[in-house]
């Protein structure tokens, strides 16, 4: 299917501003918002607007830092005693002053969370984007008003993007202009893992063979599956990288062949992956994972690793059916990992051919075409899909 939108009415913009409202902090884990906003900064002045932080300050203020050319991260800092509706009003005032202070002739608002609608009603954007990367209402501790606010965001948005094909199928009837942009890949970055190199210091003493995972460890990570698998494979070392959130670290499995190395920078990941023998994705099959499209799937493959995953729908349909990722359930996981360890990455040519059709650069380019079209037309469009798989 088409990856771009052709429109003879597209016109260049002299001074466009894009404000991205995110529930994920810039420095948390480098993923979809960071990939896209970094590329957007070549076309826009980009402000990545985070959720507030409460500190001992006399009055609300904005903490601003430049993280890349044309891209700044802005965080509202609020006094501890501010609460409830006062929070939203304080953020709204800070945001209005911020926008007024940035010279621009065109404003794009880009939402990752519908919750931002609580403080953005005074903005007059030229284009509104809802980039729905996850089904947030299914996550642990989701705000009760999230579903209602998402319905408002569907009414407000000019265009809706989804982070995977399952999300596309779920959302496509709720808006007139929905496009699927599944997780993509910075191939050159993860190709670094294919080169022989020294282990990072905290991985040097871990024996082989190694099965590795990186990502957020939360309710989507199947702790019970990991415990059973590592117990069944005592000679295999399991290396896990990433922050632990929304679950008690004390509940994580422990043992001589389990290694929790904590969060690492995006730039460090290929070096750790270079020392792994298999990448695995032990996701739980629950409401929080029903619509995910894990970015680590193409990242593991680009790093030259054989990959074993639980039956996440988007992973099965995009990678499993093509034989690029082995799909296993609780009972078959040890056998699937053992096979992958023996087989190694034997599908490199097919993997590379498949990944050559994917990139964050091409994803942003297609999104940018849609933004320009929405700016000029601002007319209802037929729902369609941009298929990168």
Query: What residues pair up with 61 in beta bridges, in sequence order?
Result: 77
- The phi and psi torsions of 308 (rounded to 5 degrees) equal -125, 135
Structure tokens at 287: 């409401």
> What pLDDT shows up at residue 83?
76
Banded model confidence at residue 375, pLDDT cuts 50, 70, 90: low
CA distance 256 to 306: 24
DSSP 378: -
Is residue 47 scored above 50 in pLDDT? yes
Instruction: Convert the pLDDT of each residue in 90-105 to its tens digit.
Output: 999 999 999 999 999 9
pLDDT at 5 (0 to 100) = 41
Question: What pLDDT sits at residue 385?
Answer: 41
Q: Which residues contact 372 (CB under 8 A, 6 or more apart)?
A: 7, 10, 11
The residue ranking higher by pLDDT, 142 or 1, is 142
Q: Are 355 and 302 in contact (CB under 8 A)?
A: yes
Task: Answer whether 0.75 is exceeded by the pTM.
Answer: yes
Q: Is the pLDDT of residue 134 over 60?
A: yes
- pLDDT band of residue 344 (cuts 50, 70, 90) is confident
The 3-state secondary structure of 249-310, one letter per residue: HHHCCCCCCEEEEECCCHHHHHHHHCCCCEEEECECCCHHHCCCCCCHHHHHHHCCCCEEEC
Q: Is the pLDDT of residue 58 over 60?
A: yes
How high is the pLDDT of residue 113? 96
pLDDT (mean) for 157-178: 94
Work out whether the CA dihedral 189, 194, 200, 203 comes out positive or negative.
Answer: positive
pLDDT exceeds cutoff 90 at 132 = yes
pLDDT at 282 over 50: yes
Closest alpha carbon to 159 in 136, 137, 126: 126
**pLDDT mean across residues, the chain:** 90
What is the predicted pLDDT for the residue at 121? 92
Q: Which two tokens stand for residue 140?
A: 């642990």
Query: Going from the N-terminus, what domains does the chain have, and what CATH number goes with each?
Result: 16-184+359-377 (3.40.50.2000), 187-355 (3.40.50.2000)
């Amino acid at each position: 299917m088409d990856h771009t939108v052709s429109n003879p009415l597209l016109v260049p913009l002299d001074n466009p501003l894009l404000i991205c409202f995110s529930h994920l902090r810039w420095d948390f884990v480098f993923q979809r918002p960071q990939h896209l906003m970094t590329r957007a900064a070549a076309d826009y002045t980009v402000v990545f607007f985070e959720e507030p932080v409460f500190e001992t300050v006399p009055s609300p203020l904005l903490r601003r830092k430049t993280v890349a050319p044309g891209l700044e991260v802005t965080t509202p800092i609020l006094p501890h005693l501010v609460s409830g509706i006062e929070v939203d009003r304080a953020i709204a005032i800070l945001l209005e002053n911020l926008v007024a202070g940035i010279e621009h002739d065109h404003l794009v608002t880009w939402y990752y969370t519908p919750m931002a609608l609580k403080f953005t009603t005074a903005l007059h954007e030229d284009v509104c984007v809802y980039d729905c990367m996850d089904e947030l209402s299914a996550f642990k501790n989701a705000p009760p008003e999230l579903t209602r606010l998402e319905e408002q965001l569907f009414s407000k948005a000019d265009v809706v993007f989804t982070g995977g094909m399952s999300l596309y199928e779920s959302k496509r009837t709720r808006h007139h202009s929905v496009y699927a942009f599944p997780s993509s890949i910075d191939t050159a970055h993860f190709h670094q893992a294919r080169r022989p190199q020294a282990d990072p210091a905290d991985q040097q003493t871990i024996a082989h063979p190694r099965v590795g995972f990186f990502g957020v460890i939360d309710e989507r990570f199947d702790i019970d599956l990991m415990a059973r698998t590592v117990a069944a494979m005592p000679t295999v070392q399991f290396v896990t990288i990433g922050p632990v959130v929304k679950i008690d670290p004390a509940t994580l499995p422990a043992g001589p062949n389990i290694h929790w190395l904590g969060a690492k920078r995006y730039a460090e990941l290929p070096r750790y992956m270079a020392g792994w023998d298999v990448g695995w994705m032990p996701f739980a099959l629950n409401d929080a994972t029903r619509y995910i499209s894990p970015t680590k799937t193409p990242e593991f493959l680009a790093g030259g690793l054989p990959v074993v995953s639980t039956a996440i729908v988007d992973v099965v349909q995009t990678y499993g059916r093509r034989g690029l990722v082995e799909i296993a359930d609780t009972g078959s996981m040890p056998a699937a990992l053992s096979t992958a360890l023996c087989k190694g990455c034997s599908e490199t040519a097919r993997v590379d051919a498949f990944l050559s059709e994917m990139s964050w650069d091409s994803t942003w380019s297609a999104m940018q075409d849609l933004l320009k079209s929405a700016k000029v037309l601002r007319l209802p469009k037929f729902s369609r899909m941009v298929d990168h798989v």
